[in-house]
Structure 1
Amino acid sequence: MIKENHTVFSDFILLGYSELLDLQALLFVVFLTLYASIIIGNGLIIYITVTDPALDTPMYFFLKNLSFLEICYTSVTVPKILVNLVVEKANISFIACAVQLYFLLVFGGTECLLLAAMAYDRYVAICNPLRYKLIMSRQFCQGLIILFMGINMTFHVGQIYLVFILPFCCSHEINNLFCDIPPLLELACAKTYINTIMLLSASILFIIIPFFLIVASYVKIISVILKIPSMEGQKKMFSTCSAHLIMVSLFYGSAIIVYISPKTKESVDINKFLSLFYTILVPVLNPIIYSLRNREVKVSLKNLFKRQM
């Protein structure tokens, strides 16, 4: 079946926003600016969490890894998007498409699990503060990151294999800015129910279950916060969770619509925009949200800028 694919055509065409011919230069500038913002903003978060002893806590250990994932996540797609905006034919080879999709799924799935771990960290810090350092030890946090990466790297090998043994003999134009499973399955001229089951399984494992764990954690957190007698104390507790809640809402909201909601012809353009939202806009917003909503990060950034002046 793989040979059949290559006898018909050897690469895919990424349509992206090719219909907007007059705006290609503007889109290039926009995507380049966003990519630079992601690298600089998340790079700053990584730098301050590594160099500032005050941020040597489990919460900022997870934030550092989240920022690293955001850089890797966007680096899988944005450079190719930028190239396609300046070349005449926006093609991508079978192998390059498979590699891009694999790492997109690995980094995206790891981020989903990491956001759940960050919610658990806040749950332990607020609901069980006396045992916080014992439970959220450095070894435990590092083990979680290794576990999350291992699960994703193993699971998505099978996911990629099942997609790329499909015969793509009807069309090779992907209506998206990068390789993704839903638009690829639309091109297959064979039954894709096994792929649909795998996609649903991945959605349950990496989106639905972590999302409900996050919700359960915050239900417990809010119940504890509401028992605090002073409004000032409640406000302080909420402020430590607000940045994470915003990121969860933005990331999971768009990912759920793209991967779980029913597919219709009208939803194609919406999904194309939402895929941009969780792969580019959310990584741009990550350092901004944590800088504005987190007092320790703001203090550390101010100290960094003072030292540079």
Structure 2
Amino acid sequence: MNNNRNLKSFVKGIMYIAPAFVLLLIFNIYPIIKSFDMSFYTRYNYYKDIVYARGLDNFYYIFSDKEFLIAMKNTFIYVLYVMPISIILSLIIAILLNSNIKFRGFFRTVYFIPFITSTVAISMVWRWMYHADHGILNYLLQVIGLSPVKWLSDPKWAMPSLIILSVWKSLGYNIVIFLAGLQNIDEQYNLAAKLDGANKLERIKNITVPLLSPTIFFVCIMTLISSFKVFGEIFALFDKQPGPLNSCLTMVYYIYNKFYNQYQYGIASAAVFVLFIIISLFNFIQFYIGKKKVEYH
């Protein structure tokens, strides 16, 4: 009887997860496998779906392509700036919003709005703010006696403009996650430290941050992945261009150009595979560090 019950429970469980598994297989697993396979296509008829030759030529091509190397460099620069700035700012704001300040609920809503707003809409607003002649940022610079900046047309300022937008956009989600983690910390730890004479900064450093480390670890992973995949902000901010002189050309934008504009599917797939390896490598490093640094209670 017990064996029959276990079998029935097992079959029911399979039936419950089968629809989700089928969708995962069709829309996630199969495209990954197909993309990996396409990265070796060197001669391919898209209309007839016939592969005439396979090889490593696509990988040789991308690593000798100056545009791809520029895209890799820009992507790493973008990630190295956006990730720490976004996480640190989000954590500071979350700690402030978790304290007893006035209009706390209002500020939480305001900071979360960018996350639920369309990337294109946000980018268009920032594009107006960055306008060289009529933008509010240049107006403020002139008010304090500084020269206006060509935010979107000067290669030196294009990447900083993108980074500022991306950091601002990512704050909402990170703040909400940090607030959830902060509210799970037992207040008795802080009260005990306060009685021992620890000031606010000491309590944050020695109690809040260690107890919040699993949440910080999660936010780091999510921010890393989203930073490597940046595309929509660039597409809308620079009017369907990768910035002046490819100053904001990223790996995902390179893939988009090769696939949708130049119809070089094998090269695009090879670039996707390289991006997948890079993200996986960074995540592996994060998990390795996380095992030593993250404190689970």
Give me the TM-score of the superposition, normalised by structure 1: 0.29
Larger helix proportion of the pair:
1
The higher radius of gyration belongs to 2
Give me the TM-score of the superposition, normalised by structure 2: 0.30
